Structure 1
Amino acid sequence: MATPRHHAPLAGLVEELLAGNGPLPIVAAGDPVLRRGTDRFEGQLDSALLARFVEALRITMHAAPGVGLAAPQVGVPLRIAVIEDPAPVPDEIRVARGRVPQPFRVLVNPSYEAVGSARAGFFEGCLSVPGWQAVVARHAEVRLTGEDEHGRAVDEVFSGWPARIVQHETDHLDGLLYLDRAELRSLSSGQAMAERWAQPTPAEAAASLGFTLP
């Protein structure tokens, strides 16, 4: 369980981050902030500062580019993440991966639980682990609960690729990286992904690299 932190230092940290121009720096694997877990958001940032922070997360996610970003990835140990996926992919990838567009959303104090027992394995990457991807078997469908940035309750079921994004970002808030759940025999460089494993599913990679898909 994360150790509670005083409100003022967190607000000061966010103000300091927002003092710069442009996207926020993304923290890379090896920084303890990615492993310590996060505090529940309980008003540590006032509404104006929270709105500015959320907008900075959105800008940073777009610039990276990525489809999700969690607060600890910019060095802030709060249980906040953002997601958005325009899903600009060919139909065969959309169908195979269940990748459908997701509007911009803010997840505050999110948690998830599996819906059913089905699992799906696909390559994932992470903005905090640049240059690499690996296959992760995740729940095919999850129920997400939490709040939005206005404090309104969220209780929604996600499936396919949106469910993967939700799990990936919520894991960040628990101090987990996708590599903690990955099939390490699948670990591939960006070059290998481009040259060998661009297929809609990782079946060929599994056969060639010697790992099992769910």
Structure 2
Amino acid sequence: MCTELSPLTAPPYNHFTQIGDPVLRLCAEEVSAERIASQEIKDIVEQMVKVLRHYDCVGVAAPQLGVPMRIIVMEFREGKREQFTPEVYEERKMSHLPLTIFINPQIEIISDKQHTHPEGCMSVRGYSAKVSRYDRVRVTGIGILGTPSELELVGWSARIAQHEMDHLNGIVYIDRMDVSSFTCITWQQINATGGRAVISFEK
């Protein structure tokens, strides 16, 4: 069970910044060599991991917590398999991705093959849309907490990496989506409650 996070009014936040916040449209800055091992960066990474797990999501980029730095955290834990049917899990090429943390990451597309699947974002809360992503990528950078400096990712894990890397460049998935597929994921609940459903921005 997740513990409740106390609100923070200054970055790194305990919540996800939402579309419209200028930080999501900035090109994040590289972390300088002298800051990489600093307590400041350790605290930011720790907060990113804490928020990722509290919200039970699969990726977070530092700008999503209000910090315009080039840091990403990814994790697709084994337990998330239970949230999908076996057919969806296989179709989307999902797999376990252990906690992965990169500072100043770079991404290389190593397959021309693309897949189109529904994608959401904690910074566009309550919505999803179909997005095409490359099937295989290589991420390089400064890996910390056991993350190697180079990692090849396939399928859904490659999608997570592309999504988080976009955040570092001021790009949100709605910039890449199939516009006709943009969906409020609670539309049925909204209808069933006579419009009284609420999209929550905290957990």
> Which category describes the TM-score, using the shorter chain as reference length?
0.7 to 0.9
* Partner AA of 2:71 in structure 1: I
Structure with the higher fraction of residues in helix conformation = 1
Aligned to 1:31: 21
Instruction: State the 1:76 CA deviation.
Output: 0.5
Match of residue 139 from structure 1: 134
Give the drift of 1:65. 2.7
Task: Map residues 90-169 of structure 1 onto 2, 5 A cutoff.
Answer: 90-149=85-144, 154-169=149-164
Percent identity over the alignment is 33
After superposition, the C-alpha distances for 1:153-202 in whole angstroms (9 at most, x for unaligned) are 622211100000000001100110011111111001112589xxxxxxxx
What does residue 185 of structure 2 align with?
Answer: 190
**Alignment gaps of 5+ in structure 2:** 1-7, 190-203
SS at match of 1:148: strand
5 Å-filtered alignment, 1:8-87, equals: 17=11, 24-42=14-32, 43-44=34-35, 46-86=37-77, 87=80
Deviation by residue 1:89-124 (Cα, 9 ceiling, x = unmatched): 332222111100111111111121211210000000
Q: Please tell me the residue identity of whatever aligns with 1:36.
A: L
How many residues end up aligned between the 2 structures? Answer: 176
Distance 1:57 1:50 in 2: 10
Aligned-partner Cα distance in 2 for 1:136–1:152: 27
Q: Could you list the per-position Cα deviations for residues 41-77 of structure 1 after superposition, in whole angstroms to 9, with x for gaps in the alignment?
A: 1133643332222111111111223110110011111
Give the Cα–Cα distance (whole angstroms) in 2 for the partners of residues 70 and 145 of structure 1: 15
**Moved beyond 6 Å, runs of 4+:** 150-153
What SS does the aligned partner of 1:73 have?
helix
Q: Taking structure 1 as reference, are residues 57 and 122 closer, same or farther at Cα in structure 2, changes over 3 Å only?
A: same
Q: Rate the CA distance shift 1:45–1:141 in 2: closer, same or farther, 3 A.
A: closer
Q: 1:184 to 1:49 in 2, by over 3 A?
A: same
Change (3 A) 1:193 1:70: farther
Partners of 2:114 and 2:106 in 1: how far apart? 18
The normalised TM-score by structure 1 is 0.75
What is the TM-score when the length of structure 2 is the normalising length? 0.79
The SS at the match of 1:127 is coil
